[in-house]
């Protein structure tokens, strides 16, 4: 085991954050989980509450925070369209003010800081698959812009702090991730389909269902984040894509989940949302070479514990 560090995770009770808390506690670190519970759930971190090295603070990152830590993982932000479009102004504030506050903290205490960015910075990509040097194709005034542009601005701030203040930064661009601790009502495609199939409801596919996504199991993703934070030398900043390059159409995913559950659900088609990307697939060449990272969990293997989690949550 390496040296024990004090690690702050913003958004620590969210889907990704809760898994990251568990992983870092398991590695022997002191973990401070910060969340305002807008989309994070106390149930996600309940199993960790008795751990002697785990601490929880209710706090909104749009306000400054004064703590002493060695590393910061900045995950705080609603990440599903239903949640980030519910209060778009607050979503932008969380990305931008949150980044400013966490970067300010990192600068004061000389901590290393990682930004959980997103594949949404690529928008509806004109390049496929997406490499880190692609600048993206984003509508700055559309309904998704609060998230897309908020995250793009956060990346800008991270690199300006790096250039101007020599701050040690890491930027991960996270592609579609799934697994236990997802919220039932988050509107993401994996949770939507599983919940609908378990309840025997119609499965709603936007458009023809020929748009593609790449699905990364949460354990693989968390491993990528930790590797990025720990990789030496520190001057490797990213941005680096983290995701599973295996590509599926939305229709394929729906059919796979129906078959897996033996569900009686029928697939129905509804209109495409505004600015919904048609293709999403990471190029992970950089992650492989710089981090020695690539996802290991197949979609079929990751869906099983995810389905089990939703069965328990729904009491089925």
Active site residues: 147
Q: Which residues of 1-35 are buried (b: 16+ CB within 10 A; e: fewer)?
A: eeeebbbbbbbbbbbbbbbbbbbbbeeebbbbbbb
- Sequence-distant contacts of 87-94: CB under 8 A, at least 24 apart: 88/143, 88/145, 88/146, 89/146, 90/38, 90/62, 91/146, 91/147, 91/150, 92/146, 92/149, 92/150, 92/153, 93/62, 94/61, 94/62, 94/150
Structure tokens at 286: 């950089």
Structure tokens at 70: 């060695």
Angle at 313 between CA 312 and CA 315, to 5 degrees: 60
| CA separation for the pair 196, 202 (Å, rounded) | 6
């Amino acid at each position: 085991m390496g040296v024990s560090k004090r690690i702050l995770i913003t958004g620590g009770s969210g889907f990704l954050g809760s898994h990251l808390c568990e992983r870092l506690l398991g590695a022997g670190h002191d973990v401070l989980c910060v969340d305002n519970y807008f989309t994070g759930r106390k149930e996600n971190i309940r199993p960790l509450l008795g751990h002697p090295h785990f601490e929880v603070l209710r706090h909104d990152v749009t306000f400054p925070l004064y703590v002493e830590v060695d590393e910061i993982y900045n995950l705080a932000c609603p990440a599903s369209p239903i949640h980030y479009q519910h209060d778009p102004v607050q979503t932008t504030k969380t990305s931008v003010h949150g980044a400013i506050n966490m970067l300010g903290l990192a600068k004061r205490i000389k901590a290393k800081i990682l930004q959980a960015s997103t594949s949404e910075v690529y928008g509806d990509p004109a390049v496929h698959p997406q490499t880190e040097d692609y600048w993206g194709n984003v509508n700055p005034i559309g309904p998704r812009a609060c998230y897309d542009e908020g995250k793009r601005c956060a990346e800008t701030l991270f690199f300006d702090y790096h250039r101007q203040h020599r701050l040690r930064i890491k930027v991960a661009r996270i592609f579609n991730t799934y697994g236990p601790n997802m919220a039932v009502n988050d509107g993401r495609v994996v949770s939507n389909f599983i919940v609908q199939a378990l309840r025997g409801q119609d499965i709603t596919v936007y458009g023809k269902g020929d748009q593609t996504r790449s699905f990364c199991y949460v354990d693989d993703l968390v491993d990528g984040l930790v590797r990025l934070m720990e990789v030496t030398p520190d001057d490797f900043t990213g941005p680096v894509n983290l995701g599973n390059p295996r590509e599926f159409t939305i229709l394929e995913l729906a059919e796979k989940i129906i078959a897996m559950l033996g569900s009686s659900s029928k697939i129905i088609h509804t209109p495409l949302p505004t600015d919904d990307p048609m293709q999403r697939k990471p190029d992970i060449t950089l992650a492989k070479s710089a981090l020695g990272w690539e996802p290991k969990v197949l979609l079929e293997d990751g869906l099983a514990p995810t389905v089990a989690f939703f069965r328990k949550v729904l009491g089925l």
